Structure 1
Amino acid sequence: MSIESPAPSQPGFLKRLVLAGLNILIPLTVGFILAYYVIRELSQTKLWFIQALHYVLPWLFIPLVMLLPLAILLRSRIKTLLLILPLPLFLLTYGELYLPRLPVRTTGDPFVVMTYNVWEGNVQFDQIASEIQTHDPDLLSIHESSPPLVQALENRLADSYPYYRIHPGIGFFSRYPILQSQAFRLGSIYGIPGPWAQHLVVEIEGEEVNIFNVHPPSPPLQGKYILGLPLRLPTSFRTEGFEIAIQEILWRMERVKGPILVIGDLNFTDQEEEYKFLRRTLEDAHRQCGWGMGFSFARFPSTGLALWRIDYVLHSDEFVCLRTKSGDFAGSDHRPVIAELGWRETTD
Structure 2
Amino acid sequence: MLVSWLHLKYFSPHALRANGSQPNIRILSLNSSWHKTSSQNLVKLIQQQQPDIICLQEIVRRHTEKAFPRLQTSYPYQVYAQSVAILSKYPILFSENLHLAGHQEIQQRAITQINQQDVVVYNIQVISPWIRPHKILPFLTIPIYDYTKRSAEIQDLVQRLQKETKPFIVVGDFNMTDQSQDYHYLRTVMQDSFQTSGLGFGFTWPHGWELSFLIKNSTSKLNYPLFRIDYIGYSKHWGSHSSKVLLTTGSDHLPVEAELIYLKSG
TM-score range, shorter chain: 0.7 to 0.9
Residue among 151, 155, 170 paired with 2:69: 155
**Structure 2 unaligned spans of 5+:** 135-140, 210-220
- How far did 1:294 drift? 0.6
- How far did 1:251 drift? 2.1
- Take 1:205 and 1:268, find their aligned partners in 2: how far apart are those partners? 33
Asked if 1:115 corresponds to 2:29, the answer is yes
Q: 1:194 to 1:246 in 2, by over 3 A?
A: farther
Q: Report if the CA contact (8 A) 1:194-1:245 is conserved.
A: no
User: Residue 185 of structure 1 aligns with which residue?
Assistant: 99
Q: Report if the CA contact (8 A) 2:175-2:229 is conserved.
A: yes
User: What number of residue pairs does the alignment pair up?
Assistant: 248
- Give the AA of the match of 2:116: G
**Structure 1 unaligned spans of 5+:** 1-86, 225-232
- Take 1:150 and 1:234, find their aligned partners in 2: how far apart are those partners? 42
- Take 1:131 and 1:102, find their aligned partners in 2: how far apart are those partners? 24
Scaled by the length of structure 2, the TM-score of the pair is 0.86
- Take 1:278 and 1:325, find their aligned partners in 2: how far apart are those partners? 20
- Take 2:176 and 2:7, find their aligned partners in 1: how far apart are those partners? 16
Asked if 1:319 corresponds to 2:227, the answer is no
- How far did 1:276 drift? 1.1
- Give the AA of the match of 2:113: E
Matches within 5 A, 1:40-189: 87-88=1-2, 91-92=4-5, 95-101=8-14, 104-105=17-18, 107-122=21-36, 124-188=38-102
Tell me the SS of whatever aligns to 1:252: helix
Cα RMSD for the two superposed structures: 2.3
Which has a greater percent of strand? Answer: 2
User: Residue 209 of structure 1 aligns with which residue?
Assistant: 119
Tell me the SS of whatever aligns to 2:163: coil
Question: Residues 176-226 of structure 1, C-alpha deviation per residue, up to 9 Å, x if partnerless?
Answer: 1111111011224xxxx33100111111121111111110011012369xx
User: Residue 256 of structure 2 aligns with which residue?
Assistant: 337
Tell me the SS of whatever aligns to 1:293: coil
Residue among 197, 207, 211 paired with 1:289: 197
User: Residue 271 of structure 1 aligns with which residue?
Assistant: 179
Q: 1:254 to 1:309 in 2, by over 3 A?
A: same
Tell me the SS of whatever aligns to 1:145: coil
- Take 2:13 and 2:55, find their aligned partners in 1: how far apart are those partners? 29
Which has a greater percent of helix? Answer: 1
- Give the AA of the match of 1:95: L
User: Residue 129 of structure 2 aligns with which residue?
Assistant: 219
Q: 1:300 to 1:237 in 2, by over 3 A?
A: farther
- Take 1:195 and 1:201, find their aligned partners in 2: how far apart are those partners? 21
Question: Residues 5-45 of structure 1, C-alpha deviation per residue, up to 9 Å, x if partnerless?
Answer: xxxxxxxxxxxxxxxxxxxxxxxxxxxxxxxxxxxxxxxxx
- Take 2:101 and 2:14, find their aligned partners in 1: how far apart are those partners? 38
